Amino acid sequence: MNLSWLELFIFALASFRITRLIVEDTIMEWLRKPFMVTTVHINDQGEEEQWIEPNGWIGEGLSCFWCVGVWASAFVIIMYIFVPYGWLLVLLFAIAGMQALIYGWSQRYL
């Protein structure tokens, strides 16, 4: 398979978006929650702080950008190569990834 730079960029954006979706976004909290432990601590100012820590190797894996990134990249490649019209889903995630980057940039600099 011979990839162009544009295809590689699209794959990277799609993989980025899927990874962020699983590791960080609220909409996927239902997937992470069974593998996380939440504890409440009182800080020096007397305020409650909530700590969320991974529980076990699945929790560690679901909270790790590097770990999820590998699996997200594999998913993107499989969708692109083996699934009919899978490239549309890859493109959708790539566009969403670009949108997330632009939004983050605009929130920081505009």
| Model confidence pLDDT, tens digit, residues 33-76 | 999 998 998 888 888 898 889 999 999 999 999 999 999 999 99
Enumerate residues 6+ apart whose C-beta is below 8 A from 87.
79, 80
Spatial distance between the Cα atoms of 103 and 15, rounded to a whole number of angstroms: 17
pLDDT value of residue 108: 87
**Is 45 in a helix, a strand, or coil?**
coil
Q: What global pTM score does this model have?
A: 0.84
Paired residues of 53 in beta bridges: 37
Quick one: 17 exposed, middle or buried, by C-beta within 10 A (0-12, 13-18, 19+)? buried
pLDDT value of residue 43: 87
pLDDT value of residue 33: 93
Enumerate residues 6+ apart whose C-beta is below 8 A from 2.
none
Closest CA to 11 of 62, 81, 84: 81
| DSSP track, 70-86 | HHHHHHHHHHHHHSTTH
